[in-house]
Amino acid sequence: MTISELHDKTKAYLFDLDGTLYLGERLIEGAPEALAFLRGAGKRIVFLTNNSSKTALRYEEKLRNMGLFEDGDLVYTSATATVHYLLRHFRGKQIYLVATEEVKEEFISAGVHVGEEDPDVAVLAYDTELTFAKIEKLDALLRRGIVYLATHPDDVCPTETGFKPDVGSFLKLFERSAGRLPDRVIGKPFPDMAKGVLSHLNLRSDEVCMVGDRLYTDIRFANRNKMSSVLVLSGESNLLSLSKFPDKPDLVLPSVKSLIPPAKNSG
C-alpha cells in the first residue's frame, strides 16, 4: 500500500502516544506537522493509549501543551474503553475498581456504579496509587469468583528513565495469589478497545488506520481488528524485530513525519 492509497481509504487515524508522537517529554520531530497535515485533509485524529492511570482529560491537557491536540481530536484510553464495556454489559452492577482517584472519578461521572459493599465485577486499572489494602481486597473478591476485568495487558510502562511495572505485572501477582487470570482484558490488542473506539467514531474498521511503534500491541491490534496499520520506527521496534514478528503492518515509516506525502513534481 502507498501513502496516498492509505490516505484515500482512511477517515480516522488512531495514534499510539509514547514512541510514536513523543518519547517521554520530548516530541518526535515533525509530529505536530503530520497531525496538522491529516486534519487539513479532513481526517479525524484519535490518541489511543492503553495507559489507564490518567483520565482522558488529563491526556488532552498534556497533548495540548505539547502542541499535539486540537479541538475536534479525541483521546481514547483503555479506561474509556472499559467504561464503555461496563455500560454495555454490566450497566447498574456494582463495580470494585482498583484505579487512581482521578480515574475512579472518571468512571463514576460516566455512570459506572463504583462500590465496595457487594460488587458484581472487579476491574484492575493502572493504579499508580496502589496500596496493600487494595491488593488484599481484590484478592479476596477474586477468590470468591467475582467477574474479573483488566483495562490492558502491558507488563511495563515506558518512562523517561526506563520502565515501571504496569497492569500485566499485577495480573501475575493475582494469578499467583488468587489463582485467577482476568476473564477479559479490554485494551490493545483486544477487540473491546476496537469496538469501543469504532462505535464512538461511528466508523467501520477499514476506514481506520492505527499508527504505532509496538508490534505486539499496536500492529497486532490493527490486524486482529481489521484496521490498516503503520509501524513507525521511532520507538521500540526496528527492522530486525519486525522481521521476527508474525504480524505485519501495511506500511513501515521512519516516523510519523513521513505520513506527509513527498511533494509531487509537476509535469
By the criterion CB under 5 A, which residues form the site for Mg ion? 16, 18-19, 213-214
Nearest approach, Cβ of 171 to Mg ion (angstroms)?
20
Of the two residues 16 and 250, which places its CB atom closer to Mg ion in the complex? Answer: 16
Nearest approach, Cβ of 49 to Mg ion (angstroms)?
8
Of the two residues 131 and 159, which places its CB atom closer to Mg ion in the complex? Answer: 159
Distance of CA 223 to the CA centre of its chain: 15
Nearest approach, Cβ of 131 to Mg ion (angstroms)?
28
The one-letter amino acid code at 41 reads: A
Question: Rounded distance, CA 193 to CA 261, Å?
Answer: 29
Nearest approach, Cβ of 89 to Mg ion (angstroms)?
28
Question: Rounded distance, CA 117 to CA 104, Å?
Answer: 16
Of the two residues 18 and 127, which places its CB atom closer to Mg ion in the complex? Answer: 18
Nearest approach, Cβ of 249 to Mg ion (angstroms)?
14
Of the two residues 15 and 107, which places its CB atom closer to Mg ion in the complex? Answer: 15
Nearest approach, Cβ of 17 to Mg ion (angstroms)?
6
Q: Which residue is nearest to Mg ion (CB)?
A: 19
Of the two residues 16 and 106, which places its CB atom closer to Mg ion in the complex? Answer: 16
**Residues 52, 103 contacting (CB under 8 angstroms):** yes
Of the two residues 104 and 220, which places its CB atom closer to Mg ion in the complex? Answer: 220
Nearest approach, Cβ of 235 to Mg ion (angstroms)?
5
Distance of CA 127 to the CA centre of its chain: 16
Question: Rounded distance, CA 27 to CA 233, Å?
Answer: 14
List the beta strands (DSSP E) in the chain.
12-15, 22-23, 26-27, 44-49, 74-77, 94-98, 113-114, 121-124, 147-150, 156-159, 162-165, 184-185, 208-212, 228-232, 251-253
Please provide the distance, in angstroms rounded to a whole number, between the alpha carbons at the two ends of the chain: 24
- Supply 29's cell numbers: 520531530
Of the two residues 186 and 211, which places its CB atom closer to Mg ion in the complex? Answer: 211
What phi, psi does 154 have (nearest 5°)?
A: -60, 130
Secondary structure string (H, E, C) spanning 66-81? CCCCCCCCEEEEHHHH
Spell out the residues 6+ positions from residue 76 whose beta carbon is closer than 8 angstroms to its own.
Answer: 14, 46, 47, 48, 49, 56, 193, 196, 197, 200
